[in-house]
Structure 1
Amino acid sequence: MNEMSWLDRRQVLTVGAAVAGTALTGSALPAFAQRAQGPAEVPVDELMKPGDLPDLALGPNDAKVTVVEYASMTCGHCMAFHTKVFPEIKKKYIDTGKIRFVFREFPLDARAFAASMLSRCAGSPERSFAMVDALFHTQENWAFVKENPTPKLFEIAKQAGFTQESFDKCLTDQKLLDQLTAIHTRGNEVFGVNATPTFFINGKRLQAAPVVEEFDKVIEPLLSQG
């Protein structure tokens, strides 16, 4: 929820000898300008414009309603949403084909970048969402611990089918790191995202608390339109 600073990632994530001196250990985090409040509405065409890295999305492409979330894997509010609210939204709206849900990475620190990279490397959107779910459910075990979080992250990744080799390869993928950085930068500079989670529903920012009832208030009228 705070403004990002230019940090040496070695200060916040040590990924072990296998990846020492590579993507996550030798680069600086992107910074963004703090804004009091982003725009209440953004152009849908611009919001949904394809990027170099395809969106992680669930639900039909032609759904009447598209929800876009910008989230950081180390954000406690994002964790609360994905563990307590998202399952209800998925059951009510996504699994029934009523909405399309897009998850966009907005990493706030190096550990969030690492977690986002691992979720992307999991494979299909469904597998990536499963990895996101697993990481949020175990957030306290790796996101805020003082010790090196790499072993904890690897334990989670192993459950998703990662080997030590594929784990190390993922965390040293400079192209993927650059692609995630581009999503973060565009979210901030084009759509005014400066906090997580931030939601857009058909281009309109959700101003209320991210609870099921508030999503219902916005989504139901859109679904009932002819």
Structure 2
Amino acid sequence: MKRRTILMAALAAPLLPTGLVLAQGGTAGDSAKPFDPTVVHDRDRVLGAADAPVTIFEYASLTCSHCATFALQTLPEVEREWIETGKARLVYRHYPLDRLALVAAVSADCMKGDKAFFAYIDMLFAEQSSWARSDDPLAALAQRAALAGLGQEAFDACVADEAQIDALLARVIAARDTLAIESTPSFIINERKVSGALPYDEFAEILEEAHRGT
């Protein structure tokens, strides 16, 4: 059985198969160091300065309506008041809840640079009801990827890249098992877990508490 099949089954299972090693970018059985979701990695997509005192890890699924609500209604003000002022940085991590979200996440990871990545993510959340519910969601997704600079040939190669899919799923499972991420959107804010698409005022209160603790 291919490892991707094992990992997809593991996402729905209460426990991982015994002995499955989730290595960063590797395969089961690799001796590479397992992915640690509690720290920022070079491959992470980040908004904000590296020395910001507050770090927000966001776990989101691109087909999740609550994630879209946060992205459209709360995040813009978080960016203005916290990220652009240097008080916080946001580390976006995928937590796909279905196969379409997985394909969307993989295509996002093929975007070159954080600017293109976040522009694509913003577009997918803003137009979620259109592409995710279309008669041919994969084609709708490919059209949006093309607008973001990932042409059809590159898109097809990207979403068929099993090594990339494996690495993404390994990070998802590491977040589930290490941080107890169970739903989207979920956040780890300076080690505090927060769940749900909170309105800005409530989210800002949590950021203020985190900032006072630094």
1:206 partner SS: strand
Distance 1:119 1:161 in 2: 11
* Contact 1:47 1:203 (C-alpha < 8 Å) held by counterparts: no
CA contact (8 A) 1:73 1:116 kept: yes
Say yes or no: does 1:198 pair with 2:178: no
> Structure 1: where are the runs of 5+ without partners?
1-22, 35-45
| More displaced stretch, 79-88 vs 215-224 | 215-224
Question: 1:215/1:187 Cα in 2 relative to 1: closer, same or farther (>3 Å)?
Answer: same
What secondary structure does 1:79 align onto? helix
Residue 89 (structure 2) pairs with residue 109 (structure 1): no
1:215 aligns to 2:203 (yes or no): yes
Match of 2:83 among 94, 99, 114: 94
Which among 31, 48, 59 is matched to residue 11 of structure 2?
Answer: 31
How big is the shift at 1:33?
4.9
Alignment partner of 1:48 out of 38, 60, 66: 38
Question: SS of the counterpart of 1:196?
Answer: coil
Q: What is the total number of aligned residue pairs between the two structures?
A: 191
CA distance in 1, matches of 2:13, 2:187: 19
Please give the secondary structure, in 2, of the residue aligned with 1:68: strand
Deviation digits for residues 192-211 of structure 1, max 9, x if unmatched? 11111111110101257522
1:135 aligns with one of 121, 124, 130:
124
Identity %: 34
Q: Is the 8 A contact 2:62 2:105 kept in 1?
A: yes
Q: Which residue of 2 aligns with 1:3?
A: none
Give the alignment's TM-score, normalised by structure 1.
Answer: 0.76
Distance 2:119 2:4 in 1: 23
Q: Report if aligned partners of 2:186, 2:193 keep a CA contact under 8 Å in 1.
A: yes
Q: 2:140 maps to what in 1? A: 152
Cα distance, 1:28–1:192 mapped onto 2, change above 3 Å: closer
Relative to the length of structure 2, the TM-score reads 0.80
Task: Please give the root-mean-square deviation of Cα atoms over the aligned residues, in Å.
Answer: 2.5
Cα deviation 1:40-99 (Å, max 9, x = unaligned) = xxxxxx643356x72111111121100111110110100110011111111111111110
Q: What is the letter of the counterpart of residue 174 of structure 2?
A: R
For 1:137, the aligned partner's letter is A
C-alpha distance 83-208 of structure 1, shift in aligned 2 (>3 A): closer
What CA distance in whole angstroms lies between the structure 1 residues aligned with 2:205 and 2:50?
22
Structure 2 unaligned runs (5+)?
Answer: 15-35
| CA distance in structure 2 between the partners assigned to 1:136 and 1:208 by the alignment | 16
* Alignment-mate amino acid for residue 65 of structure 2: G
